[in-house]
Amino acid sequence: MKKSVSAISCALALFMGCVTLAACNPYDGDYDYEAIDPGTLAAPTKEFVTAEEDAAKNAEYRAAYPTLDRYENTVTVKVAAIQYELEPNVKRGTTPQNQSFNRIALDKLNIKIEYSVVSASTMYDQKINLAIAASQMPDMFYTTTSEMFTSLRDSGMLADLTSAYYRLNDNLLNNYQTYMPELIKACMKEGKLYALPQQSNKYASAQRLYIRKDWLDICGIEAPKTIDEMIEVGQVFLDHKQEIAAATNISANNVIPFSMHKDLTYAGSYSAEGMFNAHGTSLGSFFMNEDGELECANTSAEAQAAVQTMRTMYEKGILDREFLSNTAASVQSYVSAGFVGMVFGEWWLPKDALGSAVESTAVNGADWTWVDLPSFNGKESLPVVDTMLISGYNMVSSTCKNPEAVAKLINLFYDIYYNDNAQDIYGTDVLPSNGFYYQFVPVKLWDGRASDAEYKRVNRVFNELYEGGLNNRDMFKGGLYEDLTNAQIAEYQAAGEKIYTVTTTSGGASVLKRDVVAAIEANPTLKASFNSLRSREKILHFADGYPYFVAYKQNVATKDMTKEERKGWGIYHEMIDENGSYAYVVDLSEGKKQAKYDEFYGTALSAMTDHGEYITSQTSVRFTKMISGESPMSDFSDFVKVYNSNGGELIQKQVNAWYKAIHAFD
């Protein structure tokens, strides 16, 4: 199934003498489910409002629940961290233990951070479990494993974080209360809050169909709106592979009309997820039937129809013949090389392999377009997303003396990462070049709505700059970068010039072109608009995307743009274009477009733990055989019998018990 079935909670029970076997598998033999009553969270002593709504009330609230107040005496907290690979702009030799965030926390909050668990990501949960078994659980730590959270909560090992929750900054608190109230409820038990769940936009996983626009133009056809049209487009790509090859500088043998990777039960980029969604389903999901019962998608008529479509495409040679051995990485490489005509994926694909193909000098004229999921049998197809998405948990041990410190550290991270004035407030320790690495910060919350605001802001500013006169293409043809020495930078800054560093180089830096910055600074309207961008948006979005935007607005074909202009194709169509890929996420978030929801959003149930691995394997193996023609489509009915008799019916029974139990508290 698409949902991961983990044995973490069972391993945890074995490691900890204080956690009984019942905590691992608390259901009886017929897999009943008894839901936990979340209760009602104790109200804050003052009403929370955002500063924009009522400054006086906000001041009263923050007097009771401050965000970044400093402890009078040093508070020591033991934490856990994952040892990720360093990104290029991070100071070499930076580790969780010596990162600059630790220094800032001690200086500004008087919180001393000590690391009791540091591990590679592949061993992180195991190391946490071992520490717990040895009665050395960190005071606070983060996990993406829901089973670990529920086991620790139900065994009384987590602190109540109600007070910490109210101490979160305005943006994070408003996100929880306005956009994601279900997240907090899911982490509660009998009126207490046992984790600060990660804020994630569930619509970010929505799939779309991406298509080579230049191939459509070469073949003289339109982008498909239905599954039948998608098959027709794939056939036309095959029929015209010689013309495609000649125009794009690739071999005709490398023309792949549609590609995906082999992991059918995985729902990420370059997977079959979009194909299943287009047929009205998603493997591993549960949807409500006409009788008011949840049914598993794996055995549905919609899943069978999707397999039949992929079989048809495989037989015709439209579906990549190598998909049986393809990984997501290999499909990505084929897309980057310009070989693939259609793929399904999420909003980030344009700046991923799609943009690489457009930028490539080895591929002539690559360009992409995209459509919402093709309809099937006359029915609109909707992306399938989670009813509720918690991608991680910030937790605090019940033995921690200062559980509210978790909110202070989260607020500090937020202020450093999202505040453009962070360097003025905290000094140069906020720079990656001085050892700040966001991946190493032990507890944190991403702003689940930040990307929505980013898209709207950058789209607005680009159009304001263009309409305000910053639209001379000759000014941007060569890109928006220039290299300066450190001495030059110091000289220009001393003269009062604004210098925006993009990347540091040996003895200097690559910066936004001074003449462009000067033109913006000289015009009050342009300056005000430009300065409403965040610093990283000026560097990433503007520096890379604006030259492309100007050429695009002037109807210059992608193939006729300079290399520097084409470099901005990905970031523009991903995060700025009002018809682009993140605009799709925003439309879904705001209800302008519709999604279909997987109704099961709990942690892995005991029936899933007992039977999930086998039936997931059977789904992948049997579907692959039917797609590739190794077995007939008539085997689908046999698959349904195998699936149900080997745990599928038990899982469905428990999922329905879960659904009824949790809704008893609505």
Judged against a pLDDT cut of 80, whether residue 505 lies above it is answered with no
In whole angstroms, how large is the CA radius of gyration of the chain? 27
By three-state DSSP, how is residue 113 classified? strand
Q: What is the 3-state secondary structure (H, E, C) of 422-446?
A: HHHHHCHHHCHHHCCCHHHCCCCCC
| Mean of the per-residue pLDDT values of the chain | 92
**Token representation of residue 518:** 């000067």
Confidence of residue 3 (pLDDT cuts 50, 70, 90): very low
The whole-number pLDDT of residue 20 equals: 30
pLDDT tens digits for range 160-212: 999 999 999 999 999 999 999 999 999 999 999 999 999 999 999 999 999 99
The whole-number pLDDT of residue 576 equals: 96
How distant is the alpha carbon of residue 233 from its chain centre?
30
Judged against a pLDDT cut of 90, whether residue 344 lies above it is answered with yes
Chosen domain end from 536, 563, 589: 589
Structural domain including 143 reads 36-201+389-440
**Token representation of residue 522:** 């000289």
Do 510 and 414 reside in the same domain of the chain? no
Q: What is the C-alpha separation between 192 and 190, in angstroms, rounded?
A: 6
**Token representation of residue 617:** 């394997």
**Token representation of residue 115:** 């690391």
Amino acid at position 302, single letter: E
Residue 414, domain member (yes or no): yes
Q: What is the C-alpha separation between 147 and 105, in angstroms, rounded?
A: 30
The whole-number pLDDT of residue 14 equals: 31
Judged against a pLDDT cut of 50, whether residue 135 lies above it is answered with yes
Do 128 and 193 reside in the same domain of the chain? yes
Do 432 and 487 reside in the same domain of the chain? no
Confidence of residue 651 (pLDDT cuts 50, 70, 90): very high
By three-state DSSP, how is residue 495 classified? coil
Do 185 and 44 reside in the same domain of the chain? yes
Judged against a pLDDT cut of 90, whether residue 433 lies above it is answered with no
How many Å is the maximal CA-CA distance in the chain?
78
Helix or strand holding residue 171 (H, E): helix 170-174
Confidence of residue 378 (pLDDT cuts 50, 70, 90): very high
Number of H helices, E strands in the chain: 30, 17
The whole-number pLDDT of residue 23 equals: 33
Q: Count CA atoms within 13 Å of residue 128 on its CB side.
A: 30
Count up the domains in the chain and report the number. Answer: 2
Give the CATH number, domain containing residue 80: 3.40.190.10
Residue 274, domain member (yes or no): no
Q: What is the 3-state secondary structure (H, E, C) of 288-330?
A: ECCCCCEEEHHHCHHHHHHHHHHHHHHHHCCECCCCCCCCHHH
Q: Which of 127, 167, 92, 90 is nearest to 438 (CA)?
A: 90
The whole-number pLDDT of residue 15 equals: 35
Do 407 and 537 reside in the same domain of the chain? no
Task: Tell me the average pLDDT across 263-292.
Answer: 96
The whole-number pLDDT of residue 535 equals: 87
Do 57 and 166 reside in the same domain of the chain? yes
Residue 599, domain member (yes or no): no
Do 545 and 580 reside in the same domain of the chain? yes
Q: Count CA atoms within 13 Å of residue 15 on its CB side.
A: 22
Amino acid at position 493, single letter: Q
The whole-number pLDDT of residue 29 equals: 53
Helix or strand holding residue 514 (H, E): helix 514-521
Do 98 and 138 reside in the same domain of the chain? yes
Residue 147, domain member (yes or no): yes
Do 576 and 490 reside in the same domain of the chain? yes
Q: Which of 605, 2, 599, 595 is nearest to 287 (CA)?
A: 599
Judged against a pLDDT cut of 80, whether residue 441 lies above it is answered with yes
The whole-number pLDDT of residue 653 equals: 93
β-strands 111-119, 75-82: how paired? parallel
By three-state DSSP, how is residue 607 classified? helix
Q: Which of 366, 371, 292 is nearest to 336 (CA)?
A: 366
Residue 656, domain member (yes or no): no
User: 343: which residues sit within 8 A by CB, 6+ positions away?
Assistant: 209, 210, 258, 259, 260, 269, 270, 331, 335, 349
Q: What is the C-alpha separation between 416 and 441, in angstroms, rounded?
A: 11
The whole-number pLDDT of residue 5 equals: 33
Per the CB < 8 A criterion, the answer to whether 481 and 513 are in contact is: yes
Task: Tell me the average pLDDT across 146-167.
Answer: 95
**Token representation of residue 346:** 């999420």
Residue 553, domain member (yes or no): yes
Residue 259, domain member (yes or no): no
pLDDT tens digits for range 393-423: 999 999 999 999 999 999 999 999 999 889 8
| Helix residue ranges, H only, 531-605 | 535-536, 543-553, 563-566, 569-575, 581-589
Task: Tell me the average pLDDT across 572-597.
Answer: 96
pLDDT tens digits for range 7-45: 333 333 333 333 332 333 443 456 778 778 899 999 999
The whole-number pLDDT of residue 24 equals: 37
Do 48 and 169 reside in the same domain of the chain? yes
Chosen domain end from 573, 589, 605: 589
Q: What is the C-alpha separation between 213 and 224, in angstroms, rounded?
A: 11
| Helix residue ranges, H only, 538-646 | 543-553, 563-566, 569-575, 581-589, 606-628, 635-643
Task: Tell me the average pLDDT across 365-389.
Answer: 96
Chosen domain end from 589, 623, 648: 589
Residue 128, domain member (yes or no): yes
- To which residue do tokens 């399938």 refer? 384
User: 199: which residues sit within 8 A by CB, 6+ positions away?
Assistant: 172, 175, 176, 180, 183, 445, 446, 447, 448, 449
β-strands 286-288, 501-505: how paired? unpaired
Per the CB < 8 A criterion, the answer to whether 666 and 44 are in contact is: no
The whole-number pLDDT of residue 12 equals: 35
**Token representation of residue 434:** 């001085």
Do 433 and 459 reside in the same domain of the chain? no
pLDDT tens digits for range 220-243: 999 999 999 999 999 999 999 999
Task: Tell me the average pLDDT across 357-386.
Answer: 95
Do 525 and 393 reside in the same domain of the chain? no
**Token representation of residue 502:** 């993009």
**Above pLDDT 70, what percent of the chain?**
95
**Above pLDDT 90, what percent of the chain?**
85
